[in-house]
Structure 1
Amino acid sequence: MSIRGVDEEQDIELEFTPTWVVAVVCSVIVGVSFAVERFLHYAGKRLKKKNQTTLYEALLKIKEELMVLGFISLFLSVSQRGITKICVPKSWSHHMLPCSLKEKEELEAETNITSSHFQNSLTFSSNLRHLLALPHAQVAAEAQLQYCARKNKVPLLSNQAVHHLHIFIFVLAIAHVTFCVLTVAIGLLRIRQWKQWEDSVATQNNETHRDLESTVTLVHQHAFIRDHFIGIGKNSTLLGWVKSFFKQFYGSVTKLDYVTLRLGFIMTHCRGNPKFNFHKYMIRAVEDDFKKVVGISWYLWIFVVIFLLININGWHTYFWIAFIPVILLLAVGTKLEHVIMELANEVAERHVAIEGELVVQPSDHHFWFNRPRIVLFLIHFTLFQNAFEISYFFWILVTYGIHSCIMGPIGYIIPRLIIGLFIQLLCTYSSLPLYAIVTQMGTHFKKNIFEEQLERPIVYYGGEKAKNNGAKADESHGEHERRASSPEANTNVPKEHKSN
């Protein structure tokens, strides 16, 4: 088959496409879209039924991201023709290229393309020459081909480049949402393993509550202090940071850490309720933060634009930028471990012996700039950038191939993939569980989740009491009706008078 025949088969207009093909394709697209919409709808109903308010709000956030993607897709589709008609001087297309002009010329020679911009900028127009044998089609194709050429210019962006950009934005958003969902879901599974610690602590407190009130704890002999207190001085501070860095890779949160931090939270925020379910509160807090992590904020899109701007041939930007998320994630893990160490140091420096159990004091000043929320921002940025790196790699692989000049040498590709996998595993099994418990050691707490746990037993008790009162009222009302309807109730019995 000739090249012209291949071009005609690939570029047949809709008006010359069989109607059954159009109907089948439309049916598939509409069916898949409605299936996804119904799946999200029933998932939301199930979450509301189980009173998973925070996860339901996260699902709404995902719907918002899909809606933004829809608007981006619509805008690119509508403005595609106008973008390709924006003409710029040829010299403008010779600077800040992802691939060198030499590589571009070699590619054009191999594929026999005579005029291109950014890897085949006029492919769509040249193919239109062979679309149909009709005179008006040939005229239209020639007109589009010569639109910028008559001005001795090139299009700002070709149809093919717009199409590839369209696909990249879609893949990036889907990859980010997918990686966030997997990270938080697997991380929560790990956090839920701590429930046995919560149950054992609650059982132990019920059995030994009276004995602990009269005991004296030697601070420096307490296991939590021995594990985390290094000493006082500059050398101890440096050694503490080094120990915090390595501890995030093994046993990031132990049972002793959980029990001590749990007690500090309860004694600070709900001293009157020692049976407070800290584990349940912590999970709900992570679910509440998930709705912020799953979204793509405006500053993340700015990062994408900056990366696309500086992805210049010879800079290997895609390689060096892969180290940013791993550095941030290691810094976050080290800081969270160091917060636990600072809590232990505070108690060890102030007390030798205390009455009762050892209690740490939560405070915002242990975190960067006295703001625990910065940790969530860094985790959000890390997850997005990692998703960006992985989605960018697979987009280049599928669109241009493994040997593309944008992909780069194998020596740059393999480290990127290893770093991306390392980030995903570290964030899931260490950073996220650390974040879940350590960020509760701030001065403030999530009031809405906190009150929800305290109010639920009261609401349940109030509901049962109202139900019982209602049942008693109905029983009394029924008894009253039975008496009113009986013949004896309507008969006037004369009073018996006593004779004197």
Structure 2
Amino acid sequence: MAGEGGDEGTSLEFTPTWIIAGVCTVIVGISLVVERLLHFIGKYLKKNRKKPLFEALQKIKEELMLMGFMSLLLTVFQDVIVKICVKEGVMHHLLPCKYPSNTSHQGKLSSDATDTTGDHDHYFGNHEVDIHEASPGIGYCAEKGKVPLLSLEALHHLHIFIFVLAVVHVTFSVLTVVFGMAKMRSWKHWEDSIENDNYDTQEAALQPKFTHVHQHDFIRERFQGISTHSVFLGWLHSFFKQFHASLTRSDYMALRLGFIMTHCRGNPKFNFHKYMIRALEDDFKKVVGVSWYLWVFVVIFLMLNINGWNTYFWISFIPFILLLALGTKLEHVITQLAHEVAEKHVAIEGELIVQPSDDHFWFHRPQVVLFLIHVILFQNAFDIAYFFWIWVQYGLYSCIMGQVHYTAPRLIIGVAVQLLCSCSTLPLYAIVTQMGSSFKKAAFDEHVQAGLLAWADKVKRRSRLKAANGSGHGSLPDRSSSSGIQLAETSH
């Protein structure tokens, strides 16, 4: 880059002090505003006892700090990196852009080196400055007949990409959860209507009235003109249902009742909607994180972004296909619950009750759904961040952008993934994953969680002391203590 103008070789020794002070003021001012904003958000979340969201905010700070540290490392070691020299032939393979046929890589670098070192001395005011001192690494590799492994300009662009990726990923994750919770809050009137009608699940389950299974709205809506034995049509119906009316009132009431009768039979007026919100807030901190396997994806993508492969376009289909498969699976879990009831009963006494089970999920683990949502959101954010970075840094018609007619489909896919995940898949995840064999610690308030865990630890310590003293030989803790320990461990 020094070859593009002598100003880039100017050090702080020859930069006006008012410029240095002004730039520092702007940078420090922006940093303080962002830091104070995050601080006030944290205080608000703690004041309103939103511990899961506060932990998610801390996770965002960690990710931003990690990105900043990566950028700092590139800055500190840039003089070392630009002096790593390699043979010219190494630079001719796996290029994101193809060099013009009449221009060789070595010729370009040689020309740049000649332009920057042709006049060995540059003058700034009344001071004479050596170009090699102003911009370390210029001409260093050329003197050895080699080329730099990474130029100073490429390092600057990499700094910008890391910053853009961090901002876009955090922004998209927050927007996804905000829109998802907004969709879930639209279900609150279903919960309120149940409470207003003094709905009692125990009494409803013992009503002497018998009804035909297929007369229930839950079964009728899930098998609209479809035989319960048609597996293919069941999957097809689940695929299209995720785009419109992904969850109905009858679905909500059936899943709610199944959860309560399985996990909270003693509390028929359990606020299922509030529990789902707390559970989703608890999962949010996992969504905003960037795990090691996501960095592996970034490295592989950068490696495969080769000229003519249009990797940036094909990679956008990965989160889209995963999201469609995930949404279909979540809808099909609800259909399976309805299918089980329809297969086992012709008529039922009282309300229809589904039976939650981990067997309905991939690998019998509902947690896999959250993992896939995490991967989908990051890949989509990475794809959008990469697009905007190329657009701003190199231009829409840059060779690294690829063929322009791929741009519109790529953006449409990215927007579709974001909207579908926010308004359909994430809300479905929040309620359908409650149909597993266990429930999350979010079912309890913070003080209840702390009390249960403390009590369980106390019982365990007492049991160990009895075993150590030999007084408890041949005896077991009472049933209530064992049940309490299991409940506390489940909540933990």
Q: What's the TM-score once normalised by structure 1's chain length?
A: 0.83
1:137 matched to 2:130? The reply is yes
Of the structure 1 ranges 7-16 and 389-398, higher mean CA displacement relative to structure 2 is found in 7-16
- 1:35 Cα deviation from its structure 2 partner: 1.6
- Residue 451 of structure 1 corresponds to which residue in structure 2? 444
Which residue is 2:391 aligned to?
Answer: 397
* CA displacement 1:266-302 (0-9 Å, x = unmatched): 0100001011000000011111111000111111111
Gap change, CA 1:276 and 1:121, over 3 Å in 2: farther
Q: How far apart are residue 215 of structure 1 and its match?
A: 2.1
Partner of 1:217: helix, strand, or coil? strand
From 124, 132, 145, the equivalent of 1:152 is: 145
Bigger radius of gyration, 1 or 2?
Answer: 1
**Does residue 411 of structure 1 match 2:397?**
no
Give the aligned partner of residue 227 of structure 2: 231
Task: Answer whether contact 1:329 1:431 (CA < 8 A) is retained.
Answer: yes
Indicate yes or no: 2:36 matched with 1:38.
yes
C-alpha distance in 1 between matches for 2:135 and 2:339: 78
CA 1:103/1:164 → structure 2, altered by over 3 Å: closer, same or farther?
Answer: farther
Q: TM (normalized to structure 2)?
A: 0.85
Instruction: Sort the Cα spacing of 1:121 and 1:244 in 2 relative to 1 into closer, same or farther, 3 A.
Output: farther
> Is the CA contact 2:397–2:404 (under 8 Å) kept in the aligned structure 1?
no
Confirm or deny that 1:190 pairs with 2:183. Answer: yes
* Corresponding residue of 1:479: none
Structure 1, residues 76-126: CA drift from partner, whole Å, max 9, x if none?
A: 1111111111111100000000011227949x9xxxx96349xx9869966
Q: 2:367 — aligned with what?
A: 373
Conserved in 2, the CA contact under 8 Å of 1:219 and 1:348? yes
> Helix, strand or coil: the match of 1:406?
helix
C-alpha deviations, 1:227-252, integer Å up to 9, x for none? 2244354xx00111111000001100
Q: Does the 8 Å contact 1:264/1:361 carry over to 2?
A: yes
Q: 1:351 to 1:121 in 2, by over 3 A?
A: farther
Q: 1:36 to 1:125 in 2, by over 3 A?
A: farther
The change in CA–CA distance for 1:382 and 1:127 in structure 2 (over 3 A counts) is farther
Q: Percent identity?
A: 60
Question: Given the alignment of the two structures, is residue 383 of structure 1 paired with residue 377 of structure 2, yes or no?
Answer: yes
Q: State the shift of 1:170 in Å.
A: 1.4
Kept in 2: contact 1:7–1:131 (CA 8 A): no
- Secondary structure, counterpart of 1:354 in structure 2: strand
CA–CA distance in structure 2, aligned partners of residues 432 and 124 of structure 1: 56
In structure 2, distance between residues paired with 1:18 and 1:72: 29
Compared with structure 1, are the counterparts of its residues 274 and 207 closer, same or farther at alpha carbon in structure 2 (3 Å cutoff)?
closer
1 CA distance for matches of 2:67 and 2:93?
30
Aligned to 1:308: 302
With 25-34 and 391-400 compared, the bigger mean Cα shift is at 25-34
Structure 1 residue 356, shift from structure 2 partner: 1.7
Q: 1:11 to 1:142 in 2, by over 3 A?
A: closer
* The one of 57, 60, 80 aligned to 1:59: 57
3-state SS of 1:328 partner: helix
Shift of 1:425: 1.0
Does structure 2 retain, via aligned residues, the 8 Å contact 1:12–1:131? no
Contact 2:279 2:443 in 1 (8 A): no
**d(CA) in 2 for partners of 1:10 and 1:373?**
51
Match of 2:196 in 1: 203
Q: Is the 8 A contact 1:128 1:141 kept in 2?
A: no
Distance 1:382 1:324 in 2: 8
Please name the residue that 1:431 is paired with: 425
Aligned ranges for residues 339-354 of structure 1 at < 5 Å? 339-354=333-348
Structure 2 residue identity aligned to 1:73: S
Residue 47 to residue 283, structure 1, CA distance change in 2 (3 Å): same
Secondary structure of 2:227's partner?
coil
Match of 1:168 in 2: 161
2:315 is matched by which residue type in structure 1? I
Q: 2:19 aligns with which of 18, 21, 25?
A: 21
Check 1:361–1:130 CA distance in 2 against 1; reply closer, same or farther (3 A cut): farther
Deviations 1:182-231 (A, max 9, x none): 11101101111111000001222448975762322321221111222443
CA drift at 1:390: 0.8
CA offsets, 1:378-405, max 9 Å, x none? 1111111111111111101111111110
Provide closer, same or farther for how the CA distance between residues 125 and 279 of structure 1 changes in structure 2, counting only shifts above 3 A: farther
Equivalents in 2 of 1:76, 1:171: separation in Å?
16
Q: CA RMSD in A?
A: 2.9
Please show how residues 179-328 of structure 1 align to structure 2 within 5 Å.
179-206=172-199, 210=203, 213-229=207-223, 230-233=226-229, 236-328=230-322
| Number of residue equivalences | 446
CA contact (8 A) 1:123 1:160 kept: no
Q: Which amino acid aligns with 2:233?
A: L
Query: Secondary structure of the equivalent of 1:145?
Result: coil
Contact 1:73-1:166 within 8 A present in 2 as well:
yes
**Residues 173 and 288, structure 2, Cα contact 8 Å, conserved in 1:** yes
CA shift, 1:355, in A, is 1.8
Q: 1:158 to 1:122 in 2, by over 3 A?
A: farther
Residue 138 of structure 1 and its aligned partner are, at CA, apart by 4.1
The alignment partner of 1:102 has SS state of coil
